[in-house]
A = this chain, B = another copy of it.
């Protein structure tokens, strides 16, 4: 795979100077078009052989382009905060926003590669790590991102020469670490793992490019030219799309719902009730138990994510409040999601939820969540059909990463009948301190009751997985629903705390 990158290609200083001028202004113009269009982020990764000039290429790009809209990002061993989250949390956190460019060193490929070479991970584990990367890149590419990946190459002989040169120069010898020599000795394993990585993760929208790293001038021009060509192509596509979207000016298309005569909610016995006396007794017991378990979970570093969805006025807020009542307010947090900020809008829709994954031992409660993508955004046509259909899979992947990190994830769907909702809306209208909860939008959503039931049905159907099942809660009786929620949280947390 790498023979073509051992041809000894060189560019003379004078030729470099001449071509640099032209390349530099092209890159700048493309960078500004990207910034102005603001429809996709550009992610540029540098991996490769030690000594092949990854760092110097990043420096050169920083010089060539406008550094205000460019960020260099590198990773080391995960910190305490990073270790408590799913592996990809830090990559999500550092994504450039639409219109901007991120240059990555020692990024998501670095640890799988070293793990494979030094035996930390076997073939199966290596495969799984690559599959994670592919899912991550797919989510971004599907959302429009341009991902460019460079493998900077040196033959083993050239690597030795380079390391010897550096070691002999008293000003540069510090750059050569024992790890570099160790990697050099394992050159063949290193290259074998790299071949697998490149073969498996090379795809349209996220291509690999192998660049010969011996000659500094050649390498810089080559990387710059590839970026310019790929970025120009990507921009053309997106600018055309933007133009045709403008011309069309179609009213928001809301796809007609093929009504399902029965939904998963039809099977619920919404009439279930509980006597107030029994409720009070049990609630007190569960709150006490949960308070105790919450403390234990914190000590053990077990984190919890609770998700609440369901129709307006289904009692999510009340159930949440009573559930977290006995938890330590210093280690639990309720997140509600208003309209996204401009920074949030400039990212993938999952980005703002990734940011709220709790740290070790903490509880994050989501009062409405990433399911907005397949509920309100679907209903209102904010997401295209392709976008919301894809989202089920993206959400399943997101949740499986949460669960795999050892975080307890529980998803509650609180369901009420159409009549019960009407009753509650009327009561809210009359209440001096609850009418803020009721907006015109709520009445509008009510008109789409059947459609929302269908959307909810699809949510349960496509995202109730073994790892992250939906818990459907009959909520016409608030007391019944609250008990059901707190009991479920308590039981699951108990299992987890005691098995851990």
Contact = CB atoms under 8 A, between A and B. Distances in A.
A325 B59 contact: yes
A32 interface: yes
Q: What 7 pairs between A and B have smallest CB-CB spacing?
A: A74-B330, A171-B288, A174-B292, A80-B80, A25-B432, A24-B433, A25-B433
A417 interface: no
Nearest to A28: B433
A203 interface: no
Contact of A321 (B59, B68, B289): B59
Contacts of A170: 288
A68 B338 CA distance: 8
Contacts of A437: 66
A336 interface: yes
A317 B330 CA distance: 43
A478 interface: no
A295 B174 contact: yes
Contacts of A28: 433, 436
A23 to B, nearest CB: 9
Interface string A191-213: 00000000000000000000000
Give the number of copies in the complex: 2
Given A68-B336, A288-B174, A329 B105 contact: yes
A343 interface: yes
A79 interface: yes
A62 B334 CA distance: 10
A199 B169 CA distance: 64
Nearest to A335: B71
A288 B172 contact: yes
Contact of A79 (B68, B81, B341): B81
Interface in A27-66: 28, 32, 55, 58-59, 62-64, 66
A89 to B, nearest CB: 13
Contacts of A321: 59, 62-63, 67
A128 interface: no
A291 interface: yes
A67 B174 contact: no
A342 B338 CA distance: 14
Nearest to A23: B433
Contacts of A68: 336, 338
10 contacts: A21-B433, A63-B321, A64-B433, A72-B329, A74-B329, A74-B331, A76-B331, A174-B291, A342-B343, A343-B343
A320 to B, nearest CB: 8
Contacts of A106: 330
A266 B75 CA distance: 45
Given A74-B329, A81-B79, A331-B74, A436 B66 contact: yes
A341 B338 contact: no
Contacts of A317: 67
A328 B432 contact: no
A250 B432 CA distance: 41
Contacts of A292: 174
A173 B64 CA distance: 65
A99 to B, nearest CB: 11
Interface in A324-363: 325, 328-331, 333-334, 336, 338, 341-343, 359
A175 interface: yes
Residue of A32, A66, A330 contacting most chain B CB atoms (<10 Å)? A330
A107 to B, nearest CB: 10
A149 B292 CA distance: 29
A342 B103 CA distance: 25
Interface in A77-118: 79-81, 103, 105-106
A161 interface: no
A427 interface: no
A18 B34 CA distance: 60
A79 B80 contact: yes
A441 to B, nearest CB: 14
Nearest to A24: B433
A391 to B, nearest CB: 24
A389 interface: no
Nearest to A174: B292
Contacts of A103: 329
Interface string A388-424: 0000000000000000000000000000000000000
Contact of A341 (B64, B342, B359): B342
Contacts of A359: 79
A135 interface: no
Nearest to A288: B171
